């Protein structure tokens, strides 16, 4: 998932804002207690998400894929005074851990945490979003995108994680999961409703702005 050297990674982290103590704690607890901890956004990507959120200054954010809540809190940093972030995850086993993580944050009252099938929950939320962050089951990236595009305001952004898929998108012979990623990327690049670019941050962030 990393495309740069450890030395350059450390340099980039040195010259961005530090994590707060809660984010450090969530990172540590995730690595100690949760399987596949690499799914956590981490320091540098977290600061990218925070910066994008602060630039948009959103009133409403939708996150699809909470995991342990690290990215949720990073995105929430940019919310307006009366803003909220809806975050959805299918994994009920992490619910207690995530709620504990959120409870330690002063942003807790801005977070609406839902457990269940995102394809159903999204249709139930009657909101217009400024930012949507998609970081869940990759086979449904296209489904999520199509569900949220009409709920996104003009000028709002969709951010999709893992669109470089550990560099496998460059291989001539690709597996089924990589095909899913490349098909989604092709779908986005053909969508004339949006402006788009991929940032080579960690495993690739597709930043998509609705015209």
Which tens digit of pLDDT belongs to each residue from 145-161?
A: 999 999 999 999 999 99
Reported confidence tier of residue 117, pLDDT bands at 50, 70, 90 = very high
| Helix-then-strand count for the chain, H and E | 8, 7
For residue 203, being part of any structural domain is answered with yes
Two structure tokens written together for 211 = 């015209």
Phi-psi region of 26 (alpha: psi -120 to 50; beta: other; left: phi over 0): alpha
For residue 1, being part of any structural domain is answered with no
At residue 30, the pLDDT reads 97
What's the CATH code of the domain at 181? Answer: 3.40.50.150
For residue 184, being part of any structural domain is answered with yes
Q: Which residues contact 103 (CB under 8 A, 6 or more apart)?
A: none
How much is the pTM? 0.96
Which tens digit of pLDDT belongs to each residue from 3-61?
A: 788 899 899 999 999 999 999 999 999 999 999 999 999 999 999 999 999 999 999 99
Print the domain residue range for 169. 6-210
Looking at the structure of the chain, the number of domains it has is: 1
CB-CB neighbours of 127 under 10 Å: 14
């Amino acid at each position: 998932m990393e495309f740069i050297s450890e030395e350059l990674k450390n340099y980039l982290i040195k010259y961005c804002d530090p994590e707060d103590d809660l984010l450090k704690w969530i990172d540590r607890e995730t690595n100690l207690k949760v399987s596949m901890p690499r799914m956590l956004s981490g320091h540098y990507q977290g600061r990218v998400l925070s910066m994008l959120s602060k630039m948009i200054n959103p009133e409403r954010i939708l996150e699809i894929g909470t995991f342990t809540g690290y990215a949720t809190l990073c995105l929430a940093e940019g919310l307006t005074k009366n803003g909220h972030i809806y975050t959805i995850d299918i994994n009920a086993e992490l619910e207690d851990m995530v709620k504990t993580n959120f409870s330690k944050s002063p942003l807790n009252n801005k977070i609406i945490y839902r457990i269940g099938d995102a394809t159903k929950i999204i249709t139930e939320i009657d909101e217009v979003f400024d930012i949507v962050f998609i970081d869940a089951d990759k086979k449904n990236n296209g489904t999520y995108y199509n569900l949220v595009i009409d709920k996104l305001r003009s000028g709002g952004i969709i951010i999709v994680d893992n669109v470089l898929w550990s560099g496998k998108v460059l291989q001539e012979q690709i597996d089924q999961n990589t095909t899913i990623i490349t098909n989604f990327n092709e779908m986005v690049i053909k969508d004339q409703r949006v402006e788009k670019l991929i940032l080579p941050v960690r495993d690739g962030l597709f930043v998509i702005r609705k015209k």
